[in-house]
Chains A and B, each alone.
Chain A
Amino acid sequence: GAGVSQTPSNKVTEKGKYVELRCDPISGHTALYWYRQSLGQGPEFLIYFQGTGAADDSGLPNDRFFAVRPEGSVSTLKIQRTERGDSAVYLCASSRPSLGATDTQYFGPGTRLTVL
């Protein structure tokens, strides 16, 4: 079946602008995650949704970052007043959570954000 998809694949914006990044999870997956990956580093957790609600947003770096998942499927990561330091690959993953944190997370290909 279809995997996790993310749009756009690349986004170039200017400092101070607002951007939205979209994630379409695998159908039926109730859990959705956003991660951010800077060059040469492993992905860093941003936020985790269980259904429509954010169960853990402890990884969001500041209040310029916000994510929604209004119908429990598609999610949008929103970044206000972008800064050059926000440039990174933003990864989305989804899973069917299983008891014991043994769920497999399926990742999308990511959105490469460049802030000029």
Chain B
Amino acid sequence: GIQVEQSPPDLILQEGANSTLRCNFSDSVNNLQWFHQNPWGQLINLFYIPSGTKQNGRLSATTVATERYSLLYISSSQTTDSGVYFCAVPHSGAGSYQLTFGKGTKLSVIP
């Protein structure tokens, strides 16, 4: 099946700093999702981004499908950004929609 690698595994930021999280995947995909898991365990949809760039407030994401990676940018980080960020892609195989998740990047934003 498809492999998803995220880096870095852990990241500590001072409030107000910017960061870039990376997601590499081993096979071509036709969609990719970024999630934020907050400290209460909820999975929040951030982006559905099979290719190109999208922005939502202080967050933006870019997927370069031909090179099999996606980046999540967080600007002017806030303590509420803390949590784990996952990327997920569909499993390899025609007609398969199950998502394969990476192990996540644990972000801690300190005041």
Is B truly associated with A? no
- A residues within 8 Å of B by Cβ? none
